[in-house]
Each structure stands twice: as C-alpha cells, then as structure tokens.
Amino acid sequence: LALAGVSSRRAADELIVRGVVRVNGNVVRELGTPVNPGDVVDVRGTVVAPGAERTYVAVHKPVGMVTTLRDPQGRRTVAELLPKGSPRLVPVGRLDYDTAGLLLMTDDGELVNRLLHPRYEVEKTYRATIAGRLSAEDVKGLQGGVELDAYKAAGAKVRVVAVRGDSSVVDITIHEGRNRQVRRMFEALRHPVRTLVRLRFGPVALGDLPPGGVRPLTAKELHALQRTAAGNIDSEPEVAR
C-alpha cells in the first residue's frame, strides 16, 4: 500500500487492522499478508494500482571484485556481473575484495535500508577456512562475543565443519556487519582467515549459484526477506551504515 502511494506504511497498517483492505475481495486484517502478482487489492472498494516493478537478484561475488558500482582505482566491480540493460541495482551491504559468496542487489532502496539497519539483526552465515584448529575456548569466545579493538562483537553461532591438517573449515553466523568483522574475529583468536565465502543472507542461501552467477530471487525468498525487514522505521528515517 505504501509503495503504491496509498498512505505511509504506518497508516497502511492501520487501514489493514481496521478491516478496510481487501485482497481478491476478502478482507485481510493480518499485517504482512503477502500479495502476489495478479492479486487485486482494494481499499474501501477503490482498487490499488501496483507500485513500480522492482528487481531483486542474488549474485555470487567472486574473489577479486569490489562491492561498488564504480571503482576509482579501476578494479573490477560487481556491476560487471549484471546482465546488460538491467536497472541500476545497488548491493545490499558489502563483501571484501577477497571475500566471495552471496550478495543481494536491488533497486528497492527502502528494503536495502531496512536489511542493513542494525535493529533487524539480519543473520549472515559465512564459511571460513582458517589457520589452525579452534579450541573449545575459542568456540566459547566466538559464541560469547570477541573483543575487537574498540568494541565487542555480538555473540556468533559457530559450527566446525571440517578439520584438515593445519586448517579448519568453520561456518559462522553473525548479525552485525562491521568492516572485515569475520576476519577480525578470527584474527583476535590467532586463527587468520584464509578464505571466506558468504553462504547465506537472512533467508536467502547461496546454494549452487556458481561464482560470477546471477539469478533473480524467487517470490518465496522475496516474501521471506520482506518479512525479515518488516516493522516500521518510518519514525526513524536514518540511513543504515
């Protein structure tokens, strides 16, 4: 309703709760009810025109690309991966030059702000190959929150996937997104990261998308993402860092 210009998001919630919004002729009172292409939405009998079409894609960023649309230093950027003629999509957050994996891109600026807003604590899972083996104490440290320079990282979920010789493969899930956070967390424990791949961003998984590959999000993924970022930040128009 907000995207279609009917009202603000908050007022849209009130309209729904008051029972004046119908989807395909049925009153909906539940906030967050998904609406699909082809559904007819009306408010007190006036049909709502759909908002502008938006584009949402999952990209498998390879190592050796910057997560910006242009690089003053002339390095390759993730913009090169998008098909010719696609709308101007911005990355949802950032992966380091030497990190690979799932990057979402969209022209839905409001969703980007919400997904990056610390309030929603969107979980991101990374697969790290690190030097050495984690001790039980290291795992506890990661779970409890590692001290990093000027701040303490929030507790992470940790799963040791494999130990091979002098290195280990560890899946780590965090909901913050500070600069080089995963690398710094492992460095703080003296287990430097050798390779880092993001496997998941909120409800969206990298799956078998090959490096350099791009695919549109499915309707199911998009609904799940929108639910992840649901709520109301109309009263706080700050832009996420």
**Which one of residues 60, 117, 183, 200 is an interface residue with ligand URA (CB under 6 A)?**
183
Active-site residue 13, yes or no?
A: no
- Which residue bears the tokens 């880092």? 196
- Reading the block at residue 233, the tokens are 């930040």
Helices (H) and strands (E) counted in the chain, each on its own, are: 5, 15
The yes or no reply on residue 96 touching ligand URA (CB under 6 A) is: yes
The yes or no reply on residue 78 touching ligand URA (CB under 6 A) is: no
**133 or 175: CB nearest ligand URA:** 175
**Which one of residues 181, 201, 206, 217 is an interface residue with ligand URA (CB under 6 A)?**
181
Least distance between ligand URA and beta carbon 124 (Å): 7
The yes or no reply on residue 196 touching ligand URA (CB under 6 A) is: yes
Say which DSSP state 97 is in. Answer: T
Residues paired with residue 90 on neighbouring β-strands, in sequence order: 106
User: Computed from CA positions of residues 237, 239, 240, 241, in that sequence, does the dihedral angle turn out positive or negative?
Assistant: negative
- CB–CB of 233/119 below 8 Å? yes
Specify burial of residue 174 (Cβ count, 10 A radius: 0-12, 13-18, 19+). buried
Interface segment toward ligand URA; rule CB under 6 A; list 17-25, 178-186, 216-224, 226-234: 178-186
Interface segment toward ligand URA; rule CB under 6 A; list 7-15, 94-102, 112-120, 151-159: 94-102
Task: Given the residues 96, 98, 107, 171, select the one marked as catalytic.
Answer: 96
Binding site for ligand URA (CB under 6 A): 95-96, 99, 126, 180-183, 196
